[in-house]
Structure 1
Amino acid sequence: MAVPVSERVVEAVGEWSGRRPTMVDVAAAAGVSTALVSIVMRDVPGASAETRHHVRRVAAELGYVPDRRAQKLRQSRSGLIGVAFELQQPFQGDVVEQLYPAAAEGGYDLMLSGVVPTRGEVEAAEVLVRERCEVVVLLGSRRAAASLDVLAERIPALVVARPSGTPRVGAVRMDDIRGMRVAVDHLVGLGHRGILYIDGADAPGAAERLTGFALGVAEHGLGDDAHVVPGGPSEPDGVRAMTAVLEGDRRRPTAVLAFNDRCAIGVLDVLLRRRIDVPGEVSVIGYDDSRLSRMDHIGLSTVAQDAGRIAEEVVAQVVRRLDGGPPEDVVLAPSLVVRTTAGPVGGRS
């Protein structure tokens, strides 16, 4: 006598209680073959609509969840875009957020691998290679061109927010030279001449932004009125640089350009604690237009990198590369976002 489905489900639950149900368990409870369950779960031809409904209902009752990773291992293509990014960089998080819908639109999933002080970029990328990603995207990569070449021998790769330095690896980046020149132009238009730039040390894009600042200063003939001081990409870097300037012999600048928003927020912290009015006494401009800069109590004027556009271009280049196209260097135009931290020199309206 046949055993009702509901009873078979109860029996199956009792047998595998304490472990994750498998496709074999679903087949036993549904009274069908494992091969037929596989057909239903993969949504491929070979089963009637009634059978599909029956198998899926039993699977749901058992709490069976298909192992998508195992499915991908059986496929010739994984459909995965691997992304290595620095967890401590807000703008990189903004790009990752935008990559999800862009990847889905292109029929891909993302696999993330974080870069932290205790886990380097090479290790983060290696995990993505082992997990059978079809391409590796490195956000804000610090790897030298030779190292990127080694990676490109194993898997298609591209970097974001800097030139790759090698024709074997593509890049999607903003025109950082132009972006910094736009910021200088804006400050000069507000009457500033005593402009200070806090650079990004060895951070990705630092060389290009420093070049843009130098070109902007030269174009406006600022001469000895503009200066560059060592900095970096974090809030403590901005704090150290601004503190050193205020405690040094140099005349206080009327405006500060920071390598990125995090550095600029460090600058704002120092000015706030010293009761120096922003922008009445000192104007401040960051770079990135990260979510931090958009908070109401910060209102940071900044050079905007369009995270959504970057994500779209990354996925477009991934598709082209996987279709056999060559690596490309895609350069996007930045724009200035004026908020409350930059104003006329001396507070004049």
Structure 2
Amino acid sequence: MNRPPGMMDVAREAGVSHITVSRVINGHPSVRPETRTRVEAAIQKLGYRRNSVARALKSRRSSTIGVVIVGSDLFELPRILLGVETAAKEAGYWVSLASRQGESTTGDLMETLQRLTDQSVEAIAVVADRPDAVEALSRLAIGVPVAVVMSGSVANPDLGFVEVDQELGARLAVRHLLDLGHRHIAHLTGALRTFDARARVDGWQAELAEAGAGAGAEGALLEGDFSAESGFRLAHELCAGDTRLPTAVFAGNDQMAMGALAAFAERGVKVPRDVSVVGFDDMKGAGYLVPALTTVRQDFTHLGSSAIELLVDMLGGEPPQRRRLTPRLVVRRSTAVPRTDS
């Protein structure tokens, strides 16, 4: 081995998970005695314990992970934090929260991160939906492991990334509509300053392009802001336009899809007879809209727990990684084959 042994090495030697190793190191009471003995034997064999303890004594470790929330409109933040707190507790860590509202400059982020490092946090998860926040992070020397949650990556080998594959999710939605026979698929986007909205546009465009011009696949793009109000407004624009109403709409998220359903109902447009609608997120209650919404499910709790797992790996000596979680299409009653006059 050309590097000091890490937590993953101990886990492999003991035949347990890295979370179990972390619990043993942090004195967590939930570890069975025989498992603790096996892990401690692996630590002694590999020499990991001596190095880890030396670092702990020098740094006065706090057993705390910092979480920075950048922005005020992050969808399903409570479920992300549930995953963060649950996984941190299982690994023997507490969580310290901080936030930056509105547009954050490099100086703003540095101040927030400095506040956390002054508390001796051992690692930091940054929950952000805007690439500019990640670009600001890439210019900072933070001194502890950092994992970015939700937003796209930048070229910085010191940062870890955990995200749901937004482009794949968009492609799943559009592929579902194409398979039903739709060729005119409009996309109502979220705010294009955000990573998620831009990635979903990329997926929509890529899937239409793969369908091929020969198949007649096309679609209009209208920008909203992820709110139900913007979905309502943009759907009205589609109905009032000079061109024919598309046979399908891929909304930037479920909130926008909900607004679009209300607008179509006002216009007398039947879903899915006249137009099919697909959302994104699978928000709570999406299955009880009228009609029940076909959408792309993101597991936000898993997203949060995966961020902590990545940080624990980095604390154990593993290099930063980019981890992409796979979304899943949930088919309900808001999609069907296109109308016959299309």
TM-score over 0.5 for the pair: yes
Q: How far 1:236 moved relative to its partner?
A: 2.6
Q: Tell me: CA distance 1:220–1:143, structure 2 relative to 1, closer, same or farther (3 Å).
A: closer
* 1: CA distance, partners of 2:309 / 2:247: 42
Q: Which letter maps to 2:163?
A: R
Structure 1 residues 152 and 275: alpha-carbon distance in aligned structure 2, compared to 1, 3 A threshold:
farther
Query: How do 1:178-217 and structure 2 match up within 5 A?
Result: 178-200=168-190, 201-217=192-208
Measure how far apart 1:318 and its partner are.
0.9
What does 1:161-180 correspond to in 2, within 5 Å? 161-167=150-156, 168-180=158-170
Alignment of structure 1 residues 126-165 onto 2, 5 Å: 126-127=111-112, 129-131=114-116, 132=119, 133-144=121-132, 145-165=134-154
The 1-side partners of 2:100 and 2:267 are apart by: 34
How much identity, in percent, do the aligned residues show? 31
Q: Quick check: 1:100 aligned with 2:85? A: yes
How far apart are the structure 1 equivalents of 2:181 and 2:268?
Answer: 22
| TM-score after normalising by structure 2 | 0.71
Q: Measured at CA, do residues 87 and 269 of structure 1 come closer, stay the same or move farther in structure 2, by a change above 3 Å? A: farther
Amino acid at match of 1:99: V
Q: Secondary structure at the match of 1:205?
A: helix
Unmatched runs of 5 consecutive residues or more in structure 1:
1-42, 44-73
Structure 2 counterpart of 1:141, which letter?
A: D
Q: Could you tell which deviates more after superposition, 137-146 or 301-310?
A: 137-146
Query: 2:312 is matched with which residue?
Result: 319
Q: What displacement does 1:172 show?
A: 0.7
Contact in 2 for aligned 1:86/1:116 (Cα 8 Å): yes
The count of residues paired between Structure 1 and Structure 2 equals 275
Distance 1:120 1:148, change over 3 A: closer
Q: Note the 1:26-175 alignment, pairs <5 A.
A: 75-84=60-69, 86-117=71-102, 120=104, 123=108, 126-127=111-112, 129-131=114-116, 132=119, 133-144=121-132, 145-167=134-156, 168-175=158-165
Superposed displacement of residue 328, structure 1: 0.8
Instruction: Return closer, same or farther for 1:324/1:347 CA change in 2, 3 Å cut-off.
Output: farther
* Runs of at least 5 residues in structure 2 that lack an aligned partner in the other structure: 1-26, 28-58
Structure showing greater Rg: 1
Query: For residue 210 of structure 1, what is the amino acid of its counterpart?
Result: V
1:256–1:115 CA distance, 2 compared to 1 (3 A): farther
Q: Match of 1:242?
A: 235
| Corresponding position of 2:223 | 230
Write out per-residue CA displacement over residues 185-208 of structure 1, whole angstroms, 9 at most, x where no aligned residue: 111122212210122311122232
Q: Which amino acid aligns with 2:91?
A: G
**Structure 2 CA distance for partners of 1:149 and 1:231, relative to 1, 3 Å:** same
> Aligned partners of 1:156 and 1:336: how far apart in 2?
33
Higher relative contact order (CA 8 A, sep 6+): 2
3-state DSSP class of the match of 2:201? helix
SS at match of 2:138: helix
| Distance in structure 2 (CA, Å) of the matches to 1:296 and 1:125 | 43
Deviation at 1:334, TM superposition (A): 1.4
Structure 1 residues 279, 312: closer, same or farther in 2, change over 3 A? same
Find 2:258's aligned residue among 248, 265, 282. 265
